[in-house]
Amino acid sequence: MSLPSSVDPQAIQEVLDGRWAHVRRDARENLDDPDFLPVYGETMQEARERVTRAAGKLAGSCRVGFGFPKEFGGEDDAGGSLTSIEMLAFGDLSVMVKAGVQWGLFGGALQLLGTRRQHDKYLRDVMSFDLPGCFAMTETGHGSDVQQLRTTCTYDPATQCFDLHTPHQAARKDYIGNAAKDGRMAVVFAQLITGGKNQGVHACLVPIRDEQGRPMPGVTIGDDGPKAGLPGVDNGRLSFDHVQVPRDMLLDRYGQVAEDGTYTSSIENETRRFFTMLGTLVRGRVSVGGSASSATKLALDIAVRYGDVRRQFAAPGEDREIVVNDYLVHQRKLLPALATTYALHFAQGELVETMHDVQTRVHVHGEEIDETAQRELESRAAGLKVAQTAHATRTIQMCREACGGAGYLQENRLPHLKADTDVFTTFEGDNTVLLQLVAKGLLTGYRDAFGSLDGWGRVGFIADMVRETVLERTAARALIQRLVDAVPGRDDEVPLLDRGWQLKMFEFREKHALEGAIRRLRKNSTTPGMAPFDMFNDVQDHVLKTAQAHIDRIVLEAFVAGVERTTDPGARQLLDTLCDLYALSTIEADKGWFLEHGRLTAARAKLLTGTVNQLLRELRPHVLTLVDAFAIPADWKKAQILEEEDARQEAMAASDAELRAANGETTPEGTATDLAVAPAQ
């Protein structure tokens, strides 16, 4: 069935806007202050001052309170908070990061790790930006290995205070947002020691500057200085020389220290307690992924619109040059990236809804944490953060190249997007480490079912495990299962556009990779003399492949569920075709693996490439519709390229016509047809 000649982008926008459409609408209508947009050519100091002003304006707009308790002026709406950050990320990403540090990390840690006493004392000032704060977890020497932080927080019953100390330079808190200029208080993560025993990593509130902006006694503050991007964020370094922190400044929701130094916790196991505390802070990771996707949408919007007016090379016998978007090679760049962006949007939407519902049950209604569901939520957040930030890095670079020299000018926004998002792949969790976290979750699920890795050969287990996680017991999952079960046995007889076959291929790759990782781990565990580090290190490549395959599957399934929710017939048909492109281009990118494992024949692999090209031809007329559906206000784009190219092309066409008329020509001569296979840069 061919696609309709036109589709209403608003019908697609309604599906994309989803459950928090009101938050997106409010942002589009009201976030119109110039301070929220990048200023090209400003100094680092100017950028920091502007971004601080913007943070104050955000606080005054009441748009920062979605996730905070209603009794303090918030809305108890974690999903609204995350959606608000996503929308803010269409502007200057320094503003988004500044807001994320203040209200997501600093305020979120106070809210979720602290108690009512601390909320009453500080939360309103955090929300109003009267108390700018920092989130001081990362150390120079232990960025990702949070359990091994070296900063110590030692309790002394005689003084009723903790002694907070940085024992050496590798324990210095580094890259801390808000530290270099604005922060007056920090949530500091350190090893809690009381009664001579280390109770593991905990967090406490530590004043770092006085009212006049001077460092507090024992606190050394440094400036990280110029960075590759995010000039408006005042990243800095913090060190503590035996700083005295009163006992009531410990964020003690999950661990309490009595006056005499006795430690108590509702969670006895130290490792479980640590991961429970970190699990409450999953919002930051979800925000980074969503913000990366916003930046990707903006880059694609600019590149697609430019490609629809930019012309390069005329076909033989034609007067006008060809629109760049009409070249297959250009479509190969933009459309699969656009399809992946849609897929990740739907996956992010599912994640935000799940996180909102889980946190509402626990933090608003007081229900007990479902540890299995919480663990799966953290794994899902980690996996999507990897997918979204890696996709942003690839796609923004591709969009820059697709716009040629114009894409290299700051005035056209793409260099800013590229520089500002580059760090997203390593902050809020390094992507490689997060992939291992995802894989560990899959392996832990296997171990929990069998008590060890010895059950790897049990028939059907991997299939059950892939299909039956807590987060996937939904009506949408039932739809996925029906589609997969309906696929006939022989792959080479099933049309490539059969959705069940596509889902089955993604599922097979994940199951096979997981089985292979388990098999190799089991073999290593029985190898005499093999050290535990070597047992895992030997299969690390396989483990990361497993995690990536898992992420790809849940993203495709989210896209399928998003198509299913679309009620407008034309929008549904267009999204269904875009979903085909996502699925088949993903398989095509890894077709060597599918060939190696017998799921594609050589002939079918060639057919796959031909089918992807056919999908590109079908989607080409709708490429503007697909970016229109992002509904990015024109004023937010801050790209001169979009304002000038139409007029430039009209002027060029008029000039060419005048030149030919002066020469008595009716058609251009000597056209470089051999170059017309690809747009020049």
- DSSP category for residue 590: T
The residues, any chain, with a CB within 8 Å of residue 452's CB and separated by 6 or more, are none
**To which residue do tokens 């060597």 refer?**
592
Query: Distances in Å between the alpha carbon of 146 and those of 179, 273, 534?
Result: 19, 13, 22
Give the largest CA-CA distance in the chain.
99
CA distance linking residue 598 with residue 500, whole number of Å: 18
Hey, CA dihedral for 543, 545, 548, 554, is it positive or negative?
negative
User: Is 643 a catalytic site residue?
Assistant: no
* Axis-axis angle for helices 9-17, 569-589 (nearest 10): 70
Catalytic residue, candidates 139, 321, 350, 428:
428
| C-beta atoms surrounding 609 within 10 Å | 13
Three-point CA angle 511, 285, 416, nearest 5°: 110
Residue 560 carries which side chain, given as an amino acid letter? V
Hey, CA dihedral for 115, 121, 126, 132, is it positive or negative?
negative
| C-beta atoms surrounding 557 within 10 Å | 24
| β-pair type (243-246, 161-165) | antiparallel
User: Which residues are registered as beta bridge partners of 189?
Assistant: 203
By the 10 Å C-beta count (0-12 exposed, 13-18 middle, 19+ buried), 556 is classed as buried
The pair of three-digit structure tokens given for residue 513, joined into one six-digit string: 């990779």
Three-point CA angle 394, 400, 401, nearest 5°: 90
| C-beta atoms surrounding 601 within 10 Å | 13
Catalytic residues: 428
